[in-house]
Amino acid sequence: MKIILTTTSPNIDSEIDPRFGRAAYLLVIDTNTHEWEAQTNPGASAPGGAGIQAAQFAADQQAQAAISGDFGPHAFKALQAAGIAMYLYGDCRMARQAIERYKAGQLQQVGAPTRGDCDSDHHGQGA
Amino acid sequence: MIITIASGKGGTGKTMVATSLALSLAELMPEQPPLFLDCDVEAPNAHLFLHPTWTEQKDVALLIPSVDEAKCTHCGKCAEICQYHAIAVLGQKTLVFPQLCHGCGSCTALCPEKAITEIPDRMGVIERGPAAAGISFARGVLDVGEPMAVPVIRQLEKWMQPGPGQTVLRDAPPGTSCPVVTAVRGSDYLLLVTEPTPFGLHDLRLAVQVAAELGIPAGVIVNRENGPYMALDEFCAGQRLPVLLRIPFERAIAEGVAQGKTLVDIHPEYGDRFRQMFVQIASLP
């Protein structure tokens, strides 16, 4: 199955990027074959809707899980609609480490957005 | 003629200038007092000076998409065209994010299944009525929590068409982003109210860039002047910006404005100064 991770560089030995919508890269990995592919995050510099764009990408890839440090309200809603499970990095620093922990069932799953929408949902960058 | 009062920096005295200019012009042209638009829709307050009686009110709504899931084939064309990512196709679901939608209608127009209809989503209100000295007054009010001021300002401008030869005064919001550009665009002249501080000057520089970008001639009003501030005068001279009026930093003005009085109530002699300034602006080529 395919999962998506947010990373700071376009490869599997990258450090994690704790942001979802604003992450530098989106790493898609097949957990069975360990084949991976990295993609520049289309929403990294978008003025708004970054989380939705990243979620759209994850859905288009038919990913079953997304791992990041943060899921905003729009990203959460979109990923949930797409049936993509969300997990948090916790104290993982490297993408490989997060993949191993995911496979071992050691990552915390997210059941609600990890932050609010105090900037009125606008531009998606509110903390 | 449309004159917009802007500043860049907040709190420089835009509304104080705009309302007193309106009252001064009503005296100059009693047969056709000006049309006053409070375009600061996030925090409109010119009514506190001009005391309109509201006679008409209209909701401002954006038409946002509503997807009929029975007809939707999840082809993704809507999500692809939407530059605001307000609509997303996620597997077998199409989701709309109303607060990101700008109401452009592209998704509705391009849906091959005709699965999208448009429904109004209220974001604010516009209201109008007669005010002091026969001024036609109108304002927009953005609902709390709504992110987009521009549609409210646009609707306000569209709703309030001036009579032939009627002067329009637009009180702009602070800043230099989309709402300000919307208030300024289409004006014949821009009055930039500033204060002689590094903060006033900093934001004046930005506001002047907006004027230049939009190709609108501008002049400066220095408010709360308290002795010479050379940096401001040098900037205005360098930019060939005329300083049209200087209002001193004065306790009587501050006290009066704090009580809701207009500048021309406090110092009636400003009436002539505003009228002279208007004649100077109106006689520009």
Across residues B67-84, what is the average pLDDT?
Answer: 95
User: Which pLDDT score is estimated for A46?
Assistant: 79
Q: What is the pLDDT of residue B195?
A: 97
pTM of the predicted structure, to 2 decimals: 0.78
pLDDT value at position B47? 98
Q: State the pLDDT confidence band at B41, using cuts at 50, 70 and 90.
A: very high
If pLDDT is split at 50, 70 and 90, which confidence band does A124 have? Answer: very low
pLDDT at A126 over 80: no
Average pLDDT value for residue range B155-168? 96
Q: Where are the domains of chain B?
A: 2-59+123-282, 69-114
- pLDDT score, position A123: 41
Q: Taking the CA of residue B231 as centre, how many other CA atoms within 13 Å lie in the half-sphere pointing to its CB? A: 11
Q: How far is B75 from chain A (nearest CA, A)?
A: 11
The pLDDT of residue A49 is above 50: yes
Confidence check: pLDDT of A62 > 70: yes
What is the spatial distance between Cα B95 and Cα B64, in angstroms, rounded to a whole number? 12
* CA distances from residue B72 to A57, B69, B76, B90 in whole angstroms, order as listed: 19, 5, 10, 12
- Which of B240, B232, B222 lies closest to B277 in space, CA to CA? B222
Residue in B140, B150, B34 with CA at minimum distance from that of residue B102 = B150
Distance in angstroms (rounded) separating the CA atoms of residues A100 and A106: 9
pLDDT digits (tens, 9 = 90+) for A29-42: 999 999 999 999 98
All residues at 6 or more sequence positions from B213 whose CB lies less than 8 Å from its CB, including other chains: none
Contact state of B93 with A82 under an 8 Å Cβ cutoff: yes
Answer yes or no: do B93 and A56 touch at CB < 8 A. Answer: no
Percent of chain B with pLDDT over 70: 100
Taking phi first (over 0 means left), then psi (-120 to 50 degrees means alpha), and beta for anything else, what does residue A38 get? Answer: beta
Which residue of chain A comes nearest to B97, CA vs CA?
Answer: A74
Is the pLDDT confidence value at A64 over 60? yes
What's chain B's Rg over C-alpha atoms? 22
From B84, B93, B145, residue closest to A49, measured CB to CB: B84
| Tens digit of each residue's pLDDT (9 = 90 or more) over B213-243 | 999 999 999 999 999 999 999 999 999 999 9
Is A52:B87 a contact under the CB 8 Å cutoff? no
| B69-114 to CATH, choices 3.30.70.20, 3.10.590.10, 3.40.47.10, 3.40.50.2300 | 3.30.70.20
Closest Cβ–Cβ partner in A50, A53, A78 for B95: A78
Is the pLDDT at A88 greater than 80? The verdict is yes
- Pairing label, strands B168-171, A36-40: unpaired
Measured in whole angstroms, how far is the alpha carbon of residue B284 from the centre of its chain?
23
Alpha-carbon distance B181 to B191, whole Å?
A: 14
Chain A to chain B Cβ contacts (< 8 Å): 61
List of residues 6+ apart from A34 with CB closer than 8 A: none
Q: Residues of chain A with pLDDT > 70: what percent?
A: 91
Instruction: Report yes or no: A59 at the B interface, CB cutoff 8 Å.
Output: yes
Task: Name the band, by pLDDT with cuts 50, 70 and 90, for residue A125.
Answer: very low
Contacts of A46 in chain B (CB under 8 A): 85
Mean local confidence (pLDDT), B245-269: 97
Question: Which range is least confidently modeled, A81-90, A107-116, B82-91, B164-173?
Answer: A107-116
The one-letter code for the residue type at B158 is K
Band the pLDDT of A117: cuts 50, 70, 90: low
DSSP chain B: -EEEEE-SSTTSSHHHHHHHHHHHHHHH-TTSPPEEEE--TTS--THHHH-----EEEEEEEEEEEE-TTT-----HHHHH-TT--EEEETTEEEE-GGG-----HHHHH-TT--EEEEEEEEEEEEEEE-GGG-EEEEEEEPTT----HHHHHHHHHH-PPPTT--EEEEPPSSSSHHHHHHHTT-SEEEEEE-SSHHHHHHHHHHHHHHHHHT--EEEEEEEE-S--HHHHHHHHHTT--EEEEEE--HHHHHHHHTT--HHHH-TTHHHHHHHHHHHHHT--
pLDDT exceeds 50 at position B272: yes
Return the amino acid letter for B3: I
Taking each helix axis from N to C end, the angle separating A50-60 and A73-81, rounded to the nearest 10 degrees, works out to 20
Q: Which CATH superfamily is domain B2-59+123-282 in?
A: P-loop containing nucleotide triphosphate hydrolases (3.40.50.300)
Which pLDDT band holds residue A44 (cuts at 50, 70, 90)?
confident
Contact A56 B88 (CB under 8 A): yes
Rounded average pLDDT over B236-253? 97
CB-based contact A49 B95, cutoff 8 Å:
no
User: How far, in Å, CA of B151 to CA of A43, rounded?
Assistant: 25
Question: Does the pLDDT value for residue B256 go beyond 90?
Answer: yes
pLDDT of residue A127: 28
Q: Which segment of A100-109, A114-123, B185-194, B234-243 scores lowest on mean pLDDT?
A: A114-123
- CATH classification for the domain delimited by A2-109, as one of 3.30.450.270, 3.30.420.130, 3.50.30.60, 1.10.760.10: 3.30.420.130
